[in-house]
Structure 1
Amino acid sequence: MTARLSLARVERLAANLSARDRSIILDLARTRILAGSQLTRLHFHDLSKNSRERKRRDVLFRLISIGFVAALERPIGGIRAGSKGLIYALDSGGQRALPFILAGEQQDPPERARKPWTPGQTFLLHSLDVSELYVQLVELERAGAIALPQFLTEPASWFPNGLGGILKPDAYTLLQFGDVEDSWVIEVDRATESLPTLRRKLLAYVDFAHAGGEGPDRVTPRVLVTVPHPGRLTAVQGLIEGLPEPAGQLFTAALFGEATRTMVRVLRE
């Protein structure tokens, strides 16, 4: 079991990882959880259609067997059938291996390794949505539409609000196209919060902008609010219209399925 691995054993196992193994572990560290289908799109897309799922299963099985990756127990009823619907996270061995994998990388490993646990379905679906945005941006970068120098999820995406508190967006990303770059914080709204609660959250960004606050890249980032359906989009757009300036320039609301295309469009304007 992972808990019995000595640090020397973890280091030896880390040294024998393939480049794809390391990339999988780094993406799980970045996003916290990824579905099997998302891992296929990220790391096995270059294989033939007939072999990519089999190869992914083999690689994940091996990483699980050495205690670096864990398959989470799915909630009752599951999310999807089959191995594509399995949800993966870093096991404690993979977390302990990060300092060896991250040599020379600008990313801090966790302070201590923790055994992964299966969160409630609401949290799980929200986290998978954040992961999906990352996967889509990687696919856009692969297609040459953007460069993606940075994508952070909680808690790495949090930063000071300039007023003694902390802003806690679901994700932070930096996109580039040629000489142009945009910084975004992302709030994934699944319509589970009331509009007054969302309003208070967005007002914190307005206060941040008024205070001249700077995000991780020393600029005031744009704020993207993704929503699950057109009715919620209309409601959120109306909410934004009622906020004090610079809300009109600060916020963009978009259907979840159009979120990454919206960021690319704004980047190219």
Structure 2
Amino acid sequence: MTGAQRVSAAQVERLTGLLGPRDWRILEDLRRVRVLTGSQLDRLHFADIAPTARGRVRRRTMSQLVQRRAVTSLERRVGGVRAGSDGLIFCLDTAGTRVLERRQTATGQPVEGRRARRPRTPRSLFLAHALAGSDLYVSLRETERQTPGLTIEAFDAEPACWWPTGAGNWLKPDAYVALATEQFIDHTWVEVDRATESLPTLHRKLLTYVSFVNRGGLGPGGVVPGVLVTVPDDARAEVIRNAARRLPEPGPELVTVVRHDKTAGLLTATLMPETTP
């Protein structure tokens, strides 16, 4: 989808009245992570529906949101045409952005103030990277549901998770995660590595975190978040662990490496040691 189409105040008002609780949660999550597939939406917002009806209910819900221009589906899909609606990739459309802004204003939350535009389909590598971050968020929500006492205090994707270094530039993690129990809050910056970036480039990026810490920088919550690099396989994990060991102090302690499929478990185990990653 491309181009900008205006949405009137009357349309925003009407859409606000049509949205149910599940619709709002879907829009909020799309604002948070930018893109979600049909199967990710099933896991996030339709898991309480019987498997035989889940896909049908999700398709109906998303179709209504698309018709109301609250969301749109991108031209690409995960797994190609054979993946069906599970592989559709959704993001906010113009009206969805506007109703969320209206809600933010009503509740006193800051609003970006940029003009709402219809989304463009991003390049395939960028999209795959964004979906990997979305999958981490989905996995954490599933873990939160299954783990009494665990709460996701924050999950910000880029660019909301970017952090000023105090030296005129920015740390640019792919996500910021804050997980909490009654006693503790654990803060983590996440780098999603899909083995498409050269090792020297990743090494330079990790050095920016080390430099930030050595200058006395503090992140969200007034603490130094850990840096977690997620990777697709064990071979890539070992390569990046070796690179992290060669970082200046406190790099080897600051940086942790984990496979994508074990990330949610590791983050949870940091707060709740009895949980196995």
TM range (shorter): over 0.9
* C-alpha distance in 1 between matches for 2:78 and 2:30: 23
- SS in structure 2 at match of 1:248: helix
Residues 24-69 of structure 1, C-alpha deviations (whole Å, 9 max, x = no match): 0010011100000001111111111111110000000000001110
Q: Does 1:258 align with 2:258?
A: no
**Aligned equivalents of 1:241 and 1:184: distance in 2?**
19
Q: Find out whether 1:123 has 2:119 as its counterpart.
A: no
8 Å Cα contact 1:151/1:174 also seen in 2: yes
Question: What is aligned with 1:216?
Answer: 220
- Matched AA of 2:201: T
Candidates 175, 200, 203, aligned match of 2:207 = 203
**Which residue of 1 is the match for residue 155 of structure 2?**
151
1:119 Cα deviation after fit: 1.0
Residues 14, 60 of structure 1: alpha-carbon distance in 2 compared, 3 angstrom cutoff = same
Instruction: Select which of 2, 7, 11 maps to 1:5.
Output: 7
Aligned length: 269
Is the 8 Å Cα contact of residues 75 and 120 (structure 1) preserved in structure 2?
no
Amino acid at match of 1:254: V
Of 176, 184, 191, which aligns to 2:188?
184
Amino acid at match of 1:139: E
Mapped pair 1:112 → 2:115: yes
Report how far residue 214 of structure 1 moved.
1.4
Q: Which residue of 2 aligns with 1:135?
A: 138
1:185 partner SS: strand
TM-score normalised over the length of structure 1: 0.95
Structure 2: stretches of 5+ with no match in the other structure? none
Gaps of 5+ in 1: none
Q: Paired residue for 1:233?
A: 237
- Relative to structure 2, which stretch is displaced further, 13-22 or 201-210? 13-22
Equivalent-residue separation in structure 2 for 1:31 and 1:186 (angstroms):
13
Q: Distance in 2 between matches of 1:233 and 1:79?
A: 32
Flag the 1:106–1:4 CA change in 2: closer, same or farther, 3 A. closer
Take 1:135 and 1:207, find their aligned partners in 2: how far apart are those partners? 31
What's the CA shift string for 1:133-171, capped at 9, x where partnerless? 000111111112521010001110011112221111100
Q: How does 1:45-56 map to 2 (within 5 A)?
A: 45-56=47-58
Residue 66 and residue 202 in structure 1: after superposition, are their counterparts in 2 closer, same or farther (change >3 A)? same
Give me the TM-score of the superposition, normalised by structure 2: 0.92
C-alpha distance in 2 between matches for 1:252 and 1:56: 36
| Alpha-carbon distance, 1:253 to partner | 0.3
CA RMSD in angstroms comes to 1.9
| CA–CA distance in structure 2, aligned partners of residues 240 and 259 of structure 1 | 18
How far apart are the structure 2 equivalents of 1:65 and 1:40?
Answer: 19
1: CA distance between counterparts of 2:32 and 2:77? 23
Q: Give the match for residue 249 of structure 2.
A: 245
Q: CA deviation at 1:73?
A: 0.4
- The 1:138–1:109 alpha-carbon spacing in structure 2 relative to 1, beyond 3 Å, is farther
User: Which consecutive aligned stretches of 4+ in structure 1 deviate over 3 angstroms post-superposition?
Assistant: 105-110
